[in-house]
Amino acid sequence: MQFLPLHFARFLGISVLVSLMGVFPSLVAAESNELRPYTNNPVVAIVDDEPVILEDVKNAQIHEAMVQLYQMQSQALKEKILDKLVKNHPELKLTDAPLPSKDDVARFYANTPGIKEMGTLEKMRDEITVYLEKVYARAYVDERYQLAINKGWAKVYLKAPLEFRLKAQISTAMLWSDEGDPSSRRVFLLEYSDFQCPFCKRVQATLDQLREQYSKEVQFGYRHFPLEFHKEAKYMAESVECARDQGKFWELQRLLYDNSDPVSRTNLHQFAKKAGVKNIRRFQTCLKERKYKDRVLNDLSEGMKLGIRGTPTFILGTYDPDTRTVYGELLSGAVSLEKFKKVVEKYLSILRAEANLVR
């Protein structure tokens, strides 16, 4: 997967931290010392007497950061609970955590793929031992914590973040098929790609297989995400939009991905001709005037708002044809066919269950 340049990544990282400070105002300034049970979807603002909840401001990056934060909070909370309980319940003390034996270290070395390339058992022994000590200690904390919960000695309010379903407008995305009733394809795979990205090129064959297997169930859409350091990518994106005017979007899109020759804005008309674009003069005028510059930039802007940082990135989920919106999850990189199918089947199952409920 290819990513935005470092300065963009830093900007996005800062944005996530600022966003998290915004959605967790207690981290910035406490308004009240009143104790309330924890909620994983709090009201974070009131605007014109209307509440704004945390889910309203989440994107993929914020959700990822919240999951990591929850994992750290959960571990720290377990240790805090045990520390507070151990005085009255000495069986919860953590000093009795088991330590890895020499046999444990040897088994780990023998059964861990790739570790032998890092060195011999003797060379790796100390590092493996330290690692296993941490693993065993965490497992022991989990075991003691579960005992405390089962005994009713503690009640925990901390909750994992709600399952995040990205909401993405398909906007001006080019659809793979316009045939039939759009409501019949209620699962949607929206692709954000860059023509000079090698991983985008690699995944096209996988998408072909997916289209063949789910031609009646899944709609496919394509939007542009030209990365800054790919100098010709934005012109290539604009060129397929110009070809779209003449009904040859997918033909030129495929040709540009399959091509191994150098591509530049000066020879794009040659590829358009090979793709079957009839009126080359019209195509060249479209490209010269940069008719679709704003469309490509809008794709890029909307992708960044969704939390997309590299290519290829896919939003895969259920589709509402009335609002032209995909509700789903973000998949990144040259995703395997097996992974795509697993997620597609998940959303098809959701739709089948919903259909059964309304019968």
- The reported pTM is 0.65
pLDDT value, residue 183: 56
pLDDT tens readout for residues 270-280: 999 999 999 99
Q: Are residues 278 and 147 in the same domain?
A: no
Q: Which of 19-28, 110-119, 212-221 has the lowest mean pLDDT?
A: 19-28
pLDDT tens readout for residues 117-132: 889 999 999 999 999 9
Instruction: Pick the last residue of a domain from 115, 130, 152.
Output: 152
In a domain, 79, yes or no: no
Q: Are residues 118 and 179 in the same domain?
A: no
Residue with tokens 């407008």: 169
pLDDT band at 27 (very low <50, low <70, confident <90, very high): very low
Q: Spell out the alpha helix ranges (H) of 166-292.
A: 198-213, 233-244, 249-258, 268-274, 280-288
Rounded average pLDDT over 78-105: 91
Q: Are residues 288 and 143 in the same domain?
A: no
pLDDT value, residue 10: 45
Q: Are residues 146 and 200 in the same domain?
A: no
Query: Judging by DSSP bridges, how do beta strands 43-47 and 166-169 pair with one another?
Result: unpaired
In a domain, 28, yes or no: yes
Rounded average pLDDT over 288-300: 97
Say whether pLDDT at 50 is over 90. yes
Rounded average pLDDT over 79-97: 91
pLDDT tens readout for residues 319-331: 998 899 999 988 9
pLDDT value, residue 41: 85
Q: Are residues 176 and 260 in the same domain?
A: yes
pLDDT band at 28 (very low <50, low <70, confident <90, very high): very low
Residue 87 makes CB contacts below 8 A (sequence gap 6+) with none
pLDDT band at 26 (very low <50, low <70, confident <90, very high): very low
Find out whether 116 and 52 touch, Cβ atoms under 8 Å: no
Phi (first) and psi of residue 205, to 5 degrees: -65, -35
Domain harbouring 330, CATH code: 3.40.30.10
CA distance to 104, 106, 141, 308, per residue, from 99 (Å): 9, 14, 13, 43
pLDDT tens readout for residues 198-227: 999 999 999 999 999 998 899 999 999 999
pLDDT value, residue 5: 57
pLDDT value, residue 3: 64
6 vs 5, which has greater pLDDT?
Answer: 5
Q: Are residues 201 and 303 in the same domain?
A: yes
pLDDT value, residue 182: 54
Rounded average pLDDT over 349-358: 81
In a domain, 84, yes or no: no
* Closest C-alpha among 221, 171, 189 to residue 344: 189
Q: In whole angstroms, what is the distance from residue 111 CA to residue 115 CA?
A: 9
pLDDT band at 180 (very low <50, low <70, confident <90, very high): low
The encoded tokens of residue 249 equal: 């979007």
pLDDT value, residue 353: 86
pLDDT value, residue 190: 97
Q: Which of 15-24, 101-110, 329-338 has the lowest mean pLDDT?
A: 15-24
Residue with tokens 């010392």: 33
In a domain, 62, yes or no: yes
Q: Are residues 292 and 146 in the same domain?
A: no
Q: What percent of the chain has pLDDT over 90?
A: 66
Rounded average pLDDT over 168-192: 83
Q: Are residues 143 and 171 in the same domain?
A: no
Q: Are residues 214 and 301 in the same domain?
A: yes
- Residue 100 lies in domain: 90-152
In a domain, 327, yes or no: yes
Coil, strand, or helix at residue 83? helix
Which DSSP category does 115 fall into? G
Q: Are residues 140 and 190 in the same domain?
A: no
Q: In whole angstroms, what is the distance from residue 224 CA to residue 299 CA?
A: 6
CA atoms within 13 Å, Cβ hemisphere of 277:
30
Query: Cβ of 150: how many Cβ atoms within 10 Å?
Result: 8
Of the ranges 117-126, 152-161, 257-266, 285-294, which is most confident?
285-294
The encoded tokens of residue 349 equal: 């199952």
The encoded tokens of residue 356 equal: 């059964």
pLDDT value, residue 6: 47
Q: Please tell me the total count of domains within the chain.
A: 3
In a domain, 1, yes or no: yes
Q: Are residues 190 and 333 in the same domain?
A: yes
Q: In whole angstroms, what is the distance from residue 39 CA to residue 231 CA?
A: 46
Say whether pLDDT at 7 is over 90. no
pLDDT value, residue 209: 96
Find out whether 275 and 248 touch, Cβ atoms under 8 Å: yes
Q: What percent of the chain has pLDDT over 70?
A: 88
In a domain, 81, yes or no: no
Q: Are residues 239 and 314 in the same domain?
A: yes
pLDDT value, residue 165: 81
Q: In whole angstroms, what is the distance from residue 218 CA to residue 202 CA?
A: 21
In a domain, 140, yes or no: yes
pLDDT value, residue 238: 98
Rounded average pLDDT over 327-339: 92
* Closest C-alpha among 216, 156, 158, 163 to residue 185: 216
